[in-house]
Amino acid sequence: PQITRAECYRGWVFFALYVFLFPWLMGWVQRSYEGEFPVAEANAVYYLIITALTFLVFWSFLRHGFHLLLDWLPENLFAFAAGLFGAGALSFLVGLIPLPVQNPNLMSYPEQYAFAPGATVLILVVLMPMVEEPLFRGLLFSSVRGYSRALGYVLSVAVYAFYCTVQFVYAFGTLDLRYLLLMIQYVPGALALTWCYDRGGSIWSAIALHMVLNGFTLLGALH
C-alpha cells in the first residue's frame, strides 16, 4: 500500500468535497459576481487552489510516488506507452458508436481556448490531471484493489466516467438521461489510466498519461 491510513481518511473527505461541494461553490461565486471576474481566470484560480489542497492531502503519497517513478522507471515508461496506445485504439473504436447526443465538453473547448488559451491549457492539461489521478486512481482504485483488483478497475472506470458526464444531465434546464451514454467515451481513457497506475506503480505515470490524453483531446476539439 502506498497511501497511508491518514491520507485515506483525508482523501475521502476531500473526494466528497471535490465532487459535491466545490463545483456548487464555484458556480455560486460565478453567479454572484458575474461580470466582475473573467470566467477563464476564475476557473484557473479555482483549480490552482484545488491542486494545492490535493498536495496537502496526499503529500506523502505523491512524494513516495515520485520516488517509485524513478526507481521503477522502465516499468512506468512501459505502462505509460501501453496505456497511451490502448487508449487511442479503444477511443477509435468507441468513436464508431453512434450516440444520440454530442459531448458538450468537446463542443466548448474551441470557444474556451479562443477566449483564454493559456488558462484553458493550464486547467485541462496540467491541473485537472494532478487533482483527478490522486483521487480516482490513487484513492479509489487503491482502496478497492486490496480486496479485488477487478472490482477496483470497474469502480475506478465507472465512477470517473459517471463523474465526467452526470453534470450534463441537468445542464440544459431539463432532465436528459441520454447524456449518461457519453460515459462510454470516457471508458478508454479511464481504463488506460487505471492500468497505467496499476502496472507502472507510480501515480505520476498516470498523471503524465492523463496530461497527454487531455492534450490530444484539446487538439482534436480545436481541429
Helix (H, G, I), strand (E, B) or coil at 2: coil
Q: Please tell me the pTM assigned to this model.
A: 0.94
- Which one, of 133, 16, 112, 152, lies nearest residue 66 by Cα? 133
Helix (H, G, I), strand (E, B) or coil at 173: coil
Q: Identify the pLDDT of residue 34.
A: 66
What single-letter DSSP state applies at residue 74? Answer: H
Residues 74-121 pLDDT 10s:
999 999 999 999 999 999 999 999 999 999 988 889 988 998 899 999
pLDDT, the chain, mean: 92
Cβ-contact 53, 14 below 8 angstroms? yes
Cα R_g (the chain), whole angstroms:
17
Q: Identify the pLDDT of residue 129.
A: 97
Tell me which residues of the chain have a pLDDT lower than 50: none
Q: Identify the pLDDT of residue 1.
A: 58
